[in-house]
Chain A
Amino acid sequence: MKKKLSAVFLTAGMVLGLTACGGSGGGNAGSDTSAPENSEASEMDAGQSEDSSSESAEAAPAGDGEITITVVDWNTGIASDLQKAACQEYMDSHPGIIIDHQTIAYEDYNTKLNTLIAAGQTPDIFYASDLYAFNYGEQGVSQDLAPLYEAQGVDMKEKFLSPAIYETAAGEVYGLAYGVVCTVMYYDKEIFDAAGVEYPSSDPANPDTWDEWVEKLKQITVDQNGKHPGEEGFNPLATKTYGTISPSWYYHLSTFLHSNEGAFFDENGLTLGNEEGLEVIKAVNDLAAVHQVAPTPIAEDALPTVASMFKENQLGCYISGSYEYIDIAEENPDIGIAMIPMFKRPASIAWAACLEMSATTEHPEEVFEFFRWYAEADTNPCHVASNLPNEYKYYEDESLFDIWMDPSIYNDDFHAVVPALMAEYAYSPEMCTVKNAGQIFDEYVAPQLDKVWMGEQTPEDACAELADSVGAVYSGLW
């Protein structure tokens, strides 16, 4: 009898324990009818990574009439601190609004955002990778911002940079670029001075041509014995100073394709195999394979950090996003900034996280009001000092640009190149306009080009093979 009783009590205890664990979320949500937003926020907290943080987690639960707006992004460090401060500022000036700002590590971001959406917990405002920016709009997750701005009498195309507006061919706007960056060329002035070589052009309207740039790279590349590429005895395995690191990432290739009046894709499929595309691939590949002015593109991850290479005078030029400026300039304050070399016309790209607004938010008016405050440069200065503004006027008025890109942090070269570049020559990368871009570029384009960088295939053969394979998953442009 004792055994039986013990068994019953034990089992009951275990079952109750299980039930209690499983039902805690639902119990809370059901019991706190006055603050449904808060229970949603706490459920979201549970789904976040360890990096998650919540402004409202320390705040008192929302009372009657209070509205919680959830914001999810991938920022860390200073950028995250600035955004949290901005959210606090908004809460201070808008009683009754609680901003629940949460951060998810970038590596896990897409996975966790998609999980939240699948669980019916779409954040009110969220970052989307530009590779997937339009997907959320197409699936009805993101709000079309065009009619909302129009209702407030704002002409988005007049106000915002063209690449900052995530607009489909049909005119729907599913997000705004938040924290814009552009492609520039960093260069080590000491290396150019020592070699007696003219700096790369910093005039956005008249950049070096590709060939001019390669000639400069040959003169600054040097091995341990002081030999340059092309000289007898030059040993590429013992390179002391590389002219550059090959800009082989598909974002950079997109820039050069644009400069050469080419593209990866058009509405019908792959166009990379056209004359313009092949010229760009050959030119980039030749940097390492023929001119010996760069390490092989295939193992760039294995190189020391760019900032340290610049510091040690191991690298002459480096094409990358303006987001790297802070890290590079911290070690090399006098780092040169130039326009990237061109093929047929000057070009750069501008890209960013896409800030999107949920189409299913319970408080569309309040959320859009906060969206505008948060996304626009005039009201929210939180992304000052780390990224570029998304509005034209900041590039047209030097004093406004100085507010954003503090001259004590961003050197003269940066101020000489970037505003003109952004206003005139910055385009959206193709990754934003190709449907299913994540799969197409990561699984097809990049691996196929690896064969070129490894010397296993010619650009022509690689493009022919790519055209065959990618056709199965290519579904046009947004």
Chain B
Amino acid sequence: MRKEHKKMSLAARRRNVAGYLFIAPALIGMSLFYVFPMLFSFGTSFTDWNLMTTPSFVGGDNYMELMNDSVYLKSIRVTFYYTLLAVPLSNIYALLMAMLLNAKIRGRSVVRTIFYVPSIVPAVASAGVWMYIFNPYNGFLNQIFLQLGFDPKMWIYDSKQVIPCIVAMAIWAAGGTAVIYLAALQGVPSELHEAVAIDGGNGLHKFFYITVPMISPIIFYNLIMGVINSMQVFTQGYIMTDGGPNNGSLFYVLLLYRRAFEQTKMGTACAMAWILFFILGILTLLNFALSRKWVYYGG
């Protein structure tokens, strides 16, 4: 019996070896390109390092300094403001679009393509187009405003309007999210809608009592991904406004980039990255905790 057990464990061990060999490249790659940089970044966040000299250990100074750094605190406010606007609005827009695209309308595939195209336009290219739209002198929006008799606006050149403008861009590019919602809507059993209709319910009843609960896991997924992506928004602030005016679009990751690669304050930048990691972790956990109250997984 003992001999047989030994034999089996030897075979199992061989299988394990083969398995480990198979996953070795992935493990090595992950260690080299994910785990090691993360650990290195964590260590660096406790140092004063400008890339040129040897890092010196400063304990938690980088973290403490950030807490008193008015520019850093502003970048957090700006990023949260953007996230609070962009995530709900782009999800509502995407869901409404998905319902429209799910309806049996003429030329549905063409309409679907039209709504999806903005999400595959590179951010840099779309930024160029939107800069024209928001141009206060001869931009598309102000031309319309002038025709309608309104005063022209400064759009992205006004510290109060810049974030709503960038949110509008995010909504415009929510085609990818709409496609996910579309797939979810197609998975909602039609008999449930029919049951509501038999009970005398109207379209709103169908939407709030059937559609929303049935696709709530997808809404939850889009919410989580939306928050994570919005908190890391970078390109629009980098290309269109360079963080301005008055640091009104100084997103968290844009400031992190400046600190790391323009001002070569790697310790501060790494501390910022880890704080962002913890903020995102807490937000995600919070979302998961709240999801128990509103996400319906069936059964």
Chain A positions near chain B (C-beta within 8 angstroms): 4, 7-8, 10-11, 14-15, 18, 110-111, 114-115, 117-118, 135-136, 139-141, 237, 295-296, 298-299, 301-304, 436, 438-439, 442-444, 446-448, 450-451, 453-454, 456, 469, 472
- The reply to whether A438 and B25 contact each other, CB–CB distance below 8 Å, is no
- The reply to whether B137 and A303 contact each other, CB–CB distance below 8 Å, is yes
14 contacts between A and B (CB under 8 A): A7-B22, A8-B21, A11-B22, A15-B28, A18-B28, A114-B51, A298-B158, A439-B263, A443-B71, A447-B246, A450-B159, A454-B158, A469-B70, A472-B68
Query: CA A408 – CA B262 in complex, angstroms?
Result: 39
- How many A-B pairs have beta carbons closer than 8 Å: the answer is 105
**Is B52 close to A, CB under 8 A?**
yes
Query: CA A141 – CA B264 in complex, angstroms?
Result: 14
Query: CA A471 – CA B157 in complex, angstroms?
Result: 27
Interface residues on B, range: 35 or more
A110, A301, A451, A456: residue with the most chain B Cβ atoms closer than 10 Å: A301
Minimal beta-carbon separation of A223 from chain B (angstroms): 14
- Across the two chains, which residue of chain A brings its CB closest to B157? A299
The one of B29, B158, B243 that contacts A18, using a Cβ cutoff of 8 Å = B29
- The reply to whether B137 and A140 contact each other, CB–CB distance below 8 Å, is no
- The reply to whether A442 and B52 contact each other, CB–CB distance below 8 Å, is no
Given contacts A8-B21, A114-B261, A446-B244, contact A299 B51 (CB under 8 A): no
- The reply to whether B246 and A111 contact each other, CB–CB distance below 8 Å, is no
Given contacts A18-B25, A450-B159, contact A139 B262 (CB under 8 A): no
Given contacts A111-B261, A295-B137, A299-B137, contact A136 B25 (CB under 8 A): no
Minimal beta-carbon separation of B120 from chain A (angstroms): 23
- The reply to whether A14 and B25 contact each other, CB–CB distance below 8 Å, is yes
**Is B18 close to A, CB under 8 A?**
yes
**Is B41 close to A, CB under 8 A?**
no
Minimal beta-carbon separation of A114 from chain B (angstroms): 5
Given contacts A299-B136, A299-B154, A450-B159, contact A11 B24 (CB under 8 A): yes
- The reply to whether B137 and A118 contact each other, CB–CB distance below 8 Å, is no
Contacting residues, chain A, for B255 (C-beta < 8 A): 443
**Is B164 close to A, CB under 8 A?**
no
Minimal beta-carbon separation of A288 from chain B (angstroms): 12
B131, B138, B139, B263: residue with the most chain A Cβ atoms closer than 10 Å: B263
- Across the two chains, which residue of chain B brings its CB closest to A239? B137
Contacting residues, chain B, for A443 (C-beta < 8 A): 71, 247, 255, 258
Minimal beta-carbon separation of B261 from chain A (angstroms): 4
Minimal beta-carbon separation of B271 from chain A (angstroms): 16
**Is B53 close to A, CB under 8 A?**
yes
Contacting residues, chain A, for B22 (C-beta < 8 A): 7, 10-11
Query: CA A447 – CA B24 in complex, angstroms?
Result: 50
**Is B245 close to A, CB under 8 A?**
yes
- The reply to whether A110 and B262 contact each other, CB–CB distance below 8 Å, is yes
Query: CA A304 – CA B136 in complex, angstroms?
Result: 11
Q: Which of B227-264 contact A (CB under 8 A)?
A: 243-247, 250, 255, 258, 261-264
Minimal beta-carbon separation of B28 from chain A (angstroms): 7
Contacting residues, chain A, for B264 (C-beta < 8 A): 114, 135
Contacting residues, chain A, for B68 (C-beta < 8 A): 472
Given contacts A298-B157, A469-B70, A472-B70, contact A118 B51 (CB under 8 A): yes
**Is B102 close to A, CB under 8 A?**
no
**Is B50 close to A, CB under 8 A?**
yes
- The reply to whether A118 and B52 contact each other, CB–CB distance below 8 Å, is yes
Query: CA A444 – CA B69 in complex, angstroms?
Result: 11
Minimal beta-carbon separation of A448 from chain B (angstroms): 7
Contacting residues, chain B, for A295 (C-beta < 8 A): 137
**Is B287 close to A, CB under 8 A?**
no
- Across the two chains, which residue of chain A brings its CB closest to B259? A439
Minimal beta-carbon separation of A263 from chain B (angstroms): 22
Query: CA A439 – CA B259 in complex, angstroms?
Result: 8
Query: CA A451 – CA B158 in complex, angstroms?
Result: 10
Contacting residues, chain B, for A135 (C-beta < 8 A): 50, 264
- The reply to whether A7 and B244 contact each other, CB–CB distance below 8 Å, is no
Query: CA A327 – CA B131 in complex, angstroms?
Result: 23
Minimal beta-carbon separation of A36 from chain B (angstroms): 22
Given contacts A117-B52, A447-B247, A454-B159, contact A111 B262 (CB under 8 A): yes
Contacting residues, chain A, for B243 (C-beta < 8 A): 447
**Is B119 close to A, CB under 8 A?**
no
- The reply to whether A140 and B53 contact each other, CB–CB distance below 8 Å, is yes
Contacting residues, chain B, for A114 (C-beta < 8 A): 51-52, 261, 264
9 A-B pairs with the lowest CB-CB distances in the bound complex, closest first:
A111-B261, A299-B157, A118-B51, A11-B21, A450-B246, A139-B52, A450-B245, A447-B247, A14-B25
Contacting residues, chain A, for B71 (C-beta < 8 A): 443-444, 447, 469
Contacting residues, chain B, for A4 (C-beta < 8 A): 14, 18
- The reply to whether A141 and B52 contact each other, CB–CB distance below 8 Å, is yes
**Chain B 59-81 against A: per-residue CB contact (8 Å), 1 yes, 0 no?**
00000000011110000000000
**Is B216 close to A, CB under 8 A?**
no
Query: CA A301 – CA B244 in complex, angstroms?
Result: 12
Contacting residues, chain B, for A141 (C-beta < 8 A): 52
Given contacts A299-B136, A299-B137, A302-B136, contact A442 B258 (CB under 8 A): yes
Contacting residues, chain A, for B51 (C-beta < 8 A): 114-115, 117-118
Query: CA A114 – CA B71 in complex, angstroms?
Result: 23
Query: CA A302 – CA B24 in complex, angstroms?
Result: 53
Query: CA A141 – CA B51 in complex, angstroms?
Result: 11
- The reply to whether B244 and A447 contact each other, CB–CB distance below 8 Å, is yes
- Across the two chains, which residue of chain A brings its CB closest to B74? A447
Contacting residues, chain B, for A442 (C-beta < 8 A): 258
- Across the two chains, which residue of chain A brings its CB closest to B50? A139
